[in-house]
Amino acid sequence: MLDCFHDECGVAAVYGNPEAANHVYLALYAQQHRGQESAGIASCFPGDDFIIRKGQGLVSEIFDQSQLALLKGTIAVGHNRYSTSGKAILENAQPFVIQYRYGRLALAHNGNLVNSDELRAMLEHRGAIFRTTNDSEVLLHLIAHCNEPDFISVLRSVMSQVRGAFSIVLSDGERVYGLRDALGIRPLVLGELEEGFVMASETCALDLIGARFIREIAPGELLIIDGKGYESVQLLPKLPRTAHCIFEHIYFARPDSYLFGHWVHDVRKEMGRQLARESHIEADVVIPVPDSGIIATLGYSQESGIPFELGLIRNHYVGRTFIEPKQSIRHFGVKIKLNPVKSILDGKRVVVIDDSIVRGTTSRKIIKMIRDAGASEVHLRIASPPTICPCFYGVDTPTRSELIAHNHTVEQICTYVTADSLAYLSHEGMFNAAGGGGETFCSACFDGKYPVEFSGMDT
């Protein structure tokens, strides 16, 4: 999907392995889909200072063998970034490494603190000097200013002050810690290596480095890893509900990851099956918008009996930037990434499936492309409900006014994208496919019910 919600961030940490930085590098590589703006790794031997390397771009662009050779140690913390708070500048790249009165810290954060502005103002009033525009730096200042007698008490005090979404890995140079917010909005998992342990945003990272998946870090839990193994502390009070991000299942997470108690692939396929049950139409072929719509399309095809075909081919070698010809080519931005297969589409009634519609501009161009390839009918099916609200918990989304479904009916959207028909997955169908409901998932982007309230939400 081109006109889409952008991914959030990915984190990883390893303890007790002589190749800690290499393992974190591979974990970040596996989680590249979660952030492509910058990446960083900090490593150390227990008791030593951190060595840190970070830069802008993709993991493979930033780290080569010579860079990784410098990152010695049995402890490492890493981060992939897509900016949801703060500008896309190198100073905002994580992990953040600091030296303060109680020692050293390396921290990587996935999520967004919705009260970071007021906390920043309070800290600046106390004399804190910020080097970045990133909300994650607020956490470090809160830790440095806290006077609790031990580090766990410090974390408990700090995390009780912040609101929003956070899955965090950090190290004090002796241990590695992992923690999640009380609602479990963003994912974090624990795995075991032949030597040591690893934490990461997704299980696909564990698979690449040969780690055995142990379990997900629980909402509000602090996991402490040291030479004795790992220990669990309930850092924040247990709540009667969770608010796992439903969009992780719809789009963000890799389909080979295990997330919130379910395989992402299975959830997406079931969403496609449910979409076929709710909005079946006679057609000759069903095609996905690659890559995000592929698995839902498989489910739709299997449930409806309509043959599945790859009617749009994606160019996987398009970089983050490309040079557009001086003589303008109509819809060039879409054409550089997708191209129709005329032999599949010519003269056919086509169902095209995507995971969501954001502004609608890309859907309109794709449907025009399919019609130009000879399709007699184009029916658009979306494997999620209409997206009516932005996310404030660590996903880079358009404002409310930019979301086409916020101010337009399904019929109006259908007319705008020039489809012969348009249907979305129902809220009930989405929750059933994901194995939970409104008390399990955050679905604020679909219903406006934000689980963590804050001022200035209507943006």
**Listed residue (186, 197, 73, 173) closest to 136, CA to CA:** 186
**Listed residue (379, 178, 363) closest to 287, CA to CA:** 379
Active site residue 146: no
* DSSP structure class, residue 51: E
CB 299 within 8 A of CB 288: no
140: its two tokens: 């470090």
CB 434 within 8 A of CB 249: yes
Sign of CA dihedral 327, 331, 334, 339: negative
**Listed residue (433, 359, 284, 396) closest to 6, CA to CA:** 396
CB 248 within 8 A of CB 329: no
Q: At what angle do helices 264-278 and 294-304 cross, to 10 degrees?
A: 50
**What distance in Å separates the CA atoms of residue 299 and residue 284, rounded to the nearest whole number?**
16
Q: How large is the C-alpha radius of gyration of the chain? A: 23
The number of residues in the chain equals 459
Count CB-CB contacts under 10 A for residue 86.
16
**What distance in Å separates the CA atoms of residue 65 and residue 55, rounded to the nearest whole number?**
15
Q: What are the beta bridge partners of residue 244?
A: 441
Q: What are the beta bridge partners of residue 229?
A: 226
69: its two tokens: 């050779």
**What distance in Å separates the CA atoms of residue 411 and residue 271, rounded to the nearest whole number?**
22
Which among 9, 204, 389, 391 is annotated as catalytic? Answer: 9
Helix (H) or strand (E) holding 165: strand 164-171
**What distance in Å separates the CA atoms of residue 143 and residue 168, rounded to the nearest whole number?**
14
**What distance in Å separates the CA atoms of residue 114 and residue 345, rounded to the nearest whole number?**
46
**What distance in Å separates the CA atoms of residue 114 and residue 393, rounded to the nearest whole number?**
7
282: its two tokens: 């006679």
- Residues serving a catalytic function are 9
